[in-house]
Chains A and B, each alone.
Chain A
Amino acid sequence: MWRLKAVRHRASRSAKDLEEFKHKRREHEKALRQARRDRQLISKRVLLNEDEEQEKDVMETDGAPVSPDQIREMIRSVQYGGEERDTHLAMLRKTLRDPQTHLIFTKVENSMYVLVGQLSGHNAQCQLQAAHCLQELSQSPHLGVGQACLAATPYLLTYLSSPSTKLTELCLYILGNLWPDGALVREKLLAQGIVTALANCIQNQRFNLAVVEAVGFTLSQLLQEKDVADKVIPLVMASGLVPHLISFLTPDPEFGLGPAIECAWCLHYLMSCDVDTSALLNHGVISHCSNLLITLGGATAKGSAEEGLELLIWPLLRCLGNLLATEVYEGAGCPVGVEDARLLVALCVFSQAYLSSHSALTRESLWVLNNLTADSPVFCSAMLFFNLVPHLLQLLPFSKGINSMVLRILGNIACKGAEYCVQLTYAGLLPALSATLRMADPDVVTLSLEVLHLLSTCSPQVAEEFGRLNIVPLLEAIKYYNEKEQCVRASYILDCYFHKHPMVDHQS
């Protein structure tokens, strides 16, 4: 289900709730960033169920943790409950919402045995309730709990082919949440054929988008884990999953972005491994990604972009960026698959639209632009043809990789020769450079000098412009007072184009 709507509902309940929500979010964000730096970024998905909202209010929290005896009692009533079993299971499920109960539960004898028994039984209601219980357990941060759930995995995998799509969906999320719980779990699941099961599932249930989303999520968990990448990836590539992933990239307007998001992140994880991408290219990933980005760019430009669209744009950009970097280009510098030049326009749209909310997305859009324009007269010409350079220049004030990437793109264009340099000058590049030359970031200054040099070699009028824009004293200042990288470049430009005295060997 499309989750952002649900989140909004929860968070808008009261000002106090909103504050709590924001605080929780900040804490989690900090933890996630640290986890990523430690290369341990994993998340378990919390399933929101429609009935959960009402139940949350009803549930009493007396604060006292459940005792093993109470759990034992609950299990016994499930085991021997007869007609009432599903009610007792529902009680158990409610109890298991409290993460503190998880470890207690797994320590009670027979607990998992009973639960798995219900999961594999004949009563459909009990099956579902048992699955819900397992789903709560799978969200536990304790590794021990995940490993205890291993007893259930053969059934979980079997039920991926179940005609009950609700059960299938639950099983998928359980498996996805269990995957990060240790090498033993992963080993078992691989041996039990999880990849093939996922492939069959997405094939059989391709008309049920909720299931597709769940498959996507679980697969993304598999692909994100670095340790087993060498085992998982070949299996995934051989399984026939990739064409399905590509086909679900285009979001369904009614269902929402969920499935597209999951499939896109899967493709990104695949793309950025050292995998042989030629197989992927044969599936037309580049053309799919670029056409989709153009559509999304149109929506973004018009302001009709759905909330959360960036969750889809992000992995698409990364797929495309990395594919372009590994792709062999044809003759005039044009990769196979990018046929519609409006991709450049879409990328510019993203870079501007998300600047204030997600500036990293701006940077990644520019990264893809760099990969398109590097060594490509066709795309460089297209940038000029669509008059996109002024849009790029507007991004020069921004740091953290944004202005340096813009300068790279401008350098790509300038490298192509005199006509390109002339067009860049018409677009107002020189005044922009006179600003970036004054910036504090040394990389920005170096890149600016590189671009300046490219422009100067192409056109003598540029030198006149320098004088008008007072760039010469600035270069002098850089030459005397900056670090070596900038100093030698500034000296060279001055010597070549402004000082009419014989060359001095600056290497000494």
Chain B
Amino acid sequence: MSDLIKLLDGGDEPRIGIYTIPVFKTSNEIKPHHLARGGDGIEENISPFTFTPQRIRLDKDDESFEDGDVHRHLYLQDLAATLAEDFQAPKVSEFKCHIAGCRQLFDTLEGYEHHYNSLHRHVCSSCKRSFPSNHLLDIHILEWHDALFQVMAEKQCMYQCLVEGCGLKFRTSKERKDHLIKTHSYPSDFRFDKSKNKSRIKEKTPQQKDVCMVDPSSVLSGELENSNSMDISLPQMSENKELVLPKQQKPHYSYKVPSSVCFGQGSVRGFRGGRRKK
């Protein structure tokens, strides 16, 4: 408050005349129904904004005056005393997660942001799993939801190391896991590299609002892979009640494959047979 003190305790010329303040140029006075700025739209959009500056008058009995009146009357009745915790502390606004189905409330912005970043940020729109980072989400989509992946994995090293910046790739997920343990000192039960068959709970067909590829009911809904999964098998799986934003900013390989190309259920089923790679 020191800057305010300086202003109020101005020494020789304390008073600051209101007419000595430089006034900024006013412009663009916003009218409530100004026309929209869009160029190519022919229709005029009536602005839904209604705010106008208003001087507010409050009646003596207005409920917002309650605290002050009560304080005044406590004083009259000889009961006002700052030492007696006569305090009306302020209440802090809560934050609300705006994602439908979530609606959680938070006391702090940090709490809200942590929640949002953990649960709503890097979410796979196919299977709704949530990942702690872009990198892991990318890898997940690639290995789970990309039909091309399995094909290519036959011939090349496709399993990327989970550690960002490492860049090494492996023929099988087991090799990757060994690498993680040996080179990066990861624990053998790293939760983002669990064996899919153990950790996978019964997959329910995720609701797909947007067209992924071919028919949503088919393989792409997570039955393609027999590789190790890297989902977050967090406790949130059971309490996971949130839906995901229908649109992710992520590039999804699955979106890129044209629907005319059919990898077919046949070919996939072949992979699903459990033919394990070395």
Residues of chain A touching chain B, judged by Cβ–Cβ distance below 8 Å, are 3-4, 6-8, 11-12, 18, 21-22, 24-25, 28-29, 32-33, 36-37, 39, 41, 43-46, 48, 217, 224, 226, 261, 265, 268-269, 272-273, 294, 297-298, 301-302, 307-308, 310-311, 314-315, 318, 321-322, 324-326, 332, 334, 338-342, 345-346, 348-349, 352-353, 355-364, 367, 370-371, 373-375, 377-382, 384-387, 391, 396-403, 408, 411-412, 414-420, 423, 435-436, 438-441, 444, 447, 449-451, 453-454, 457-458, 473-474, 476-478, 480-482, 488-489, 492, 495-496, 502-507
Contact = CB atoms under 8 A, between A and B. Distances in A.
A355 B42 CA distance: 50
Interface stretch (B7-15, B125-133, B150-158, B185-193): B7-15
Contacts of A12: 83
B24 A420 contact: yes
B29 A28 contact: no
A356 B47 contact: no
A370 B38 CA distance: 32
A315 B65 CA distance: 10
A400 B94 CA distance: 11
Given A36-B66, A297-B8, A374 B45 contact: no
A307 to B, nearest CB: 6
Nearest to B105: A440
7 pairs of A and B residues whose beta carbons are closest in the complex:
A503-B41, A360-B67, A417-B27, A440-B96, A359-B90, A374-B53, A272-B60
Interface stretch (B73-81, B213-221, B251-259, B270-278): B73-81
Interface in B28-69: 28-30, 34, 36-38, 40-61, 63-69
Nearest to B10: A342
Given A356-B89, A416-B26, A438 B109 contact: yes
B18 interface: yes
A47 to B, nearest CB: 9
Nearest to B16: A341
Contacts, number: 337
18 contacts: A12-B83, A32-B69, A43-B77, A308-B80, A311-B80, A318-B68, A322-B57, A325-B57, A340-B16, A359-B67, A381-B21, A401-B64, A417-B28, A441-B93, A447-B51, A477-B99, A495-B36, A496-B37
Given A349-B8, A391-B4, A495-B38, A384 B24 contact: yes
Contacts of A315: 68, 72
B18 A338 contact: yes
Given A41-B69, A301-B8, A440-B94, A454 B24 contact: no
Interface string B92-108: 11111011100001000
A419 B28 CA distance: 10
B26 A444 contact: no
A322 B8 contact: no
A268 to B, nearest CB: 7
A36 B74 CA distance: 12
B239 interface: no
B58 A314 contact: no
A377 B57 contact: no
Given A269-B60, A488-B48, A492-B45, 16 more contacts: A7-B78, A8-B83, A298-B9, A321-B58, A341-B20, A358-B87, A359-B88, A360-B64, A377-B26, A381-B21, A399-B93, A401-B64, A415-B51, A496-B45, A502-B38, A503-B42
Given A301-B5, A481-B100, A495 B45 contact: yes
Given A478-B98, A503-B41, A11 B72 contact: no
B22 A359 contact: no
A311 B96 contact: no
Binding site secondary structure of chain A: helix
A387 B7 CA distance: 11
A370 B51 CA distance: 13
A28 B74 contact: yes
B70 A33 contact: yes
A3 B78 contact: yes
Interface centre among A45, A387, A438 (most CB of B within 10 A): A438
A301 B4 contact: yes
B1 interface: yes
Nearest to A363: B64
B85 interface: yes
B18 A382 contact: yes
B71 to A, nearest CB: 7
Nearest to B59: A272
A420 to B, nearest CB: 6
Contacts of A357: 82, 86-89
Contacts of A46: 77-78
Given A381-B23, A382-B18, A4 B7 contact: no
B198 interface: no
B204 interface: no
A473 B121 CA distance: 10
B3 interface: yes
